[in-house]
Amino acid sequence: MLFAKYVDDNAEKFRSKIVSFEGKKELRVCWNYDDPNLFYNPLKKDFPWNFFTDKFSGLIKKNVKGELGDTMINNFSTTSKIEKCASEIALMSQC
């Protein structure tokens, strides 16, 4: 937590080491609204959260430089996809 605060307080100093762009970047997971098989209510139990977390994880990986992203992201044998995605979001919030 202290490391994240330190990076957040010194974002511009570390930006070039973490990402290769200036400012904030919006990442979007695209959804095919035309496919009736992909229409889900996010409040229902069967909502395909893995689809979103996998896609978002891929976007994070594309936007974080080198091995730092892998080092900073929770990815242990006991880490769920949701926990991994949350740690990736936390990493990107620092950039």
Stretch 71-95: mean pLDDT, rounded? 77
pLDDT band at 33 (very low <50, low <70, confident <90, very high): low
Contacts 24+ apart (CB under 8 A), 84-92: 84/53, 84/57, 85/52, 85/53, 85/56, 85/57, 88/56, 88/57, 88/60, 89/56, 89/60, 90/4, 91/18, 91/60, 91/64, 92/27, 92/60, 92/63, 92/64
Residue-level pLDDT at 94: 58
Residue-level pLDDT at 36: 59
Mean pLDDT of the chain: 75
Give the global pTM. Answer: 0.61
